């Protein structure tokens, strides 16, 4: 085969569909028996994601929303409603399966319930057999076997827990975010309405995420219908390529440390991977130097924003609950809300952060973020 992809998530499937469309022989190895499951994602997507994959009407979009509420530890809140920036609540299982159908229709093979045990240049050993491939892509998440082969340390991980719950919601177009160290130390909690009194409720933290989630569910009087959990990378790895290999998505830590979202930066990086692989296959050069073009590309395309997000995340972890209360109060001003509504973008959060700090320097003493160009 030309390309072996380890992992059947959205990033790996996007690469498979793109390369198969060009006529290359591509096989995806997925250890689970069901594309899209288990689903750990909140399913809150930006329009940028749907622009990359195309075909919004068949990607499992449940609804669009432009309203959010951030709840401070003291119960005060910040209401956000944008007239321009929208996010989409997406059925992640259907989203992933739509990408799998794209890959299959373009000629890719997807081998389910086949765990990749070891890789080396041009060689793959799985739970079912051994294969040869000109290029190997590691898109299998935080425990990537390909990343281990190229001898790169794992990204920093924080724990996340989420439930789909029976929960009465007064406004089913409103996404609610809870901040504070008694709610989710170092990160935040979320409620995303799915409709019909069902919502995704979850959080990530530097503490015991399951314990904090149980406390939140009790406070909300929400009854779980299903549970899931996993790890969220909050740092990128030092190197994302090897001899005939590259890693993408969570395996590379290509995740926004501010929100935990990995689909958009993963897809942006996947576009770089496709371009690099195409050139390598046409030239027959699979060396480290050839694969390095992938890393140069994604760091140029999305690397700066990921770095900014990691910096903001490190400072965010230091914020005390009393300062969260003060920040919400400072942001509840017409001029600040105007900036948020105009420049807010969940895929490029640093843009609005710097503008808010410039407009209201008092925020610096609460956030410990140093304003910079």
Report how many helices (DSSP H) and strands (DSSP E) the chain contains, helices first. Answer: 12, 19
Element at 105 (helix H, strand E): helix 92-105
Burial class (CB in 10 A: 0-12, 13-18, 19+), 153: exposed
Q: Does the residue 82 lie in any domain?
A: no
Q: Are residues 47 and 111 in the same domain?
A: yes
Query: How open is the CA angle 190-314-49, to the nearest 5 degrees?
Result: 50
Q: What is the CATH number of the domain that holds 187?
A: 3.30.9.10
Its pTM stands at: 0.94
Residue 225 host element (H or E): strand 223-233
Residue 238 is predicted with a pLDDT of 96
Whether 70 is covered by a domain: the verdict is no
Domain end residue (candidates: 196, 216, 233): 233
Question: Residue 342: which domain range?
Answer: 315-367
Hey, how many other C-beta atoms are within 10 angstroms of the C-beta on 113? Answer: 12
Give the CATH number, domain containing residue 21: 3.50.50.60
Residue 25 domain-assigned (yes or no)? yes
Both 276 and 358 in one domain: the answer is: no
Tell me how far apart the terminal alpha carbons of the chain are, to the nearest angstrom: 46
The partner residues of 246 in beta bridges, in order of sequence, read 137, 241
- Please list the pLDDT of the chain residue by residue as tens digits (373 residues): 999 999 999 999 999 999 999 999 999 999 999 998 877 788 899 999 999 999 888 999 998 888 999 999 999 999 998 776 679 999 999 999 999 999 999 999 999 999 999 999 999 999 999 999 999 999 999 999 999 999 999 999 999 999 999 999 888 889 999 999 999 999 999 999 998 899 999 999 999 999 999 999 999 999 999 999 999 999 999 999 999 999 999 999 999 999 999 999 999 999 999 999 999 999 999 999 999 999 999 999 999 999 999 999 999 999 999 999 999 999 999 999 999 988 888 889 888 898 998 888 888 887 766 554 4
What is the pLDDT, as a whole number, of residue 33?
93
Predicted confidence at residue 373, as pLDDT, reads: 43
Residue 80 domain flag:
no
256 and 359 within one domain = no
Beta bridge partners, 29, equal: 6, 111
**Statement to judge: residues 165 and 222 lie in one domain:** yes
Residue 52 resides in a domain: yes
Residues 136 and 279 in one domain: yes
Kindly state whether residues 37 and 108 are assigned to the same domain: yes
* Contact criterion met (CB below 8 Å) for 184 and 204: yes
Mark whether 127 and 267 lie in a shared domain. Answer: yes
Is 320 in the same domain as 218? no
The pLDDT score that the predictor gives to residue 37 is 84
260 lies in some domain: yes
Same domain, 52 and 173: no
110, 125: one domain: yes
* Sequence-ordered list of residues with C-beta below 8 angstroms from that of 269, at least 6 positions apart, any chain: 11, 248, 249, 252, 254, 298, 301, 302
The Cα 238–Cα 236 span in angstroms is: 7
Same domain, 239 and 222: no
Instruction: Name residues whose C-beta falls within 8 Å of residue 39's C-beta, 6 or more positions apart in sequence.
Output: 92, 93, 96, 228
The domain tally of the chain equals: 3
Which of 184, 201, 233 is the C-terminal boundary of a domain? 233
Q: Has residue 310 been placed in a domain? A: no
DSSP state of 196: T
Domain boundary among 217, 233, 249: 233
Q: Are residues 51 and 143 in the same domain?
A: yes
Q: What is the pLDDT of residue 140?
A: 94
Q: Identify whether 242 is part of a domain.
A: yes
């Amino acid at each position: 085969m030309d390309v072996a992809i380890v992992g059947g998530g959205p990033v790996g499937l996007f690469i498979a569909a793109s390369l198969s469309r060009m006529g290359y022989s591509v096989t995806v190895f997925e250890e689970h028996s069901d594309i899209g499951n288990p689903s750990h994602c909140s399913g809150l997507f930006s329009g940028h994601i749907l622009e990359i994959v195309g075909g919004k009407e068949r990607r499992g979009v449940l609804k669009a929303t432009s309203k959010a509420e951030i709840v401070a530890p003291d119960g005060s809140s910040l209401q956000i409603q944008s007239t321009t920036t929208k996010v989409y609540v997406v059925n992640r299982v259907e989203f992933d399966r739509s990408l799998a159908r794209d890959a299959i229709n373009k000629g890719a093979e997807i081998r389910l319930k086949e765990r990749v045990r070891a890789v080396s240049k041009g060689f793959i050993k799985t739970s079912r057999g051994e294969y040869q491939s000109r290029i190997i892509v590691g898109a299998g998440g935080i425990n990537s076997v390909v990343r281990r082969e190229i001898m790169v340390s794992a990204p920093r991980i924080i724990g996340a827990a989420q439930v789909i719950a029976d929960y009465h919601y007064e406004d089913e177009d409103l996404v609610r975010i809870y901040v504070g160290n008694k709610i989710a130390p170092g990160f935040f909690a979320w409620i995303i309405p799915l409709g019909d009194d069902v919502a995704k409720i979850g959080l990530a933290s530097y503490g015991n995420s399951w314990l904090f989630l149980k406390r939140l569910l009790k406070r909300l009087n929400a009854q779980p219908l299903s549970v899931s959990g996993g790890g969220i990378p909050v740092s990128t790895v030092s190197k994302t390529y090897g001899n005939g290999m590259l890693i993408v998505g969570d395996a590379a830590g290509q995740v926004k440390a501010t929100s935990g979202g990995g689909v958009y930066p993963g897809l942006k990086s996947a576009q770089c991977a496709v371009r690099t692989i195409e050139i390598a296959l046409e030239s027959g050069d699979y060396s480290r130097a050839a694969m390095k073009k992938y890393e140069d590309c994604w760091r140029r395309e999305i690397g700066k924003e990921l770095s900014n997000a990691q910096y903001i995340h490190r400072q965010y972890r230091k914020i005390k609950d009393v300062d969260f209360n003060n920040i919400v109060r400072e942001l509840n001003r017409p001029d600040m809300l105007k900036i948020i509504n105009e420049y807010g973008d969940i895929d490029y959060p640093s843009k609005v952060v710097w503008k808010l700090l410039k407009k209201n320097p008092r925020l610096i003493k609460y956030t410990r973020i140093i304003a910079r160009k």
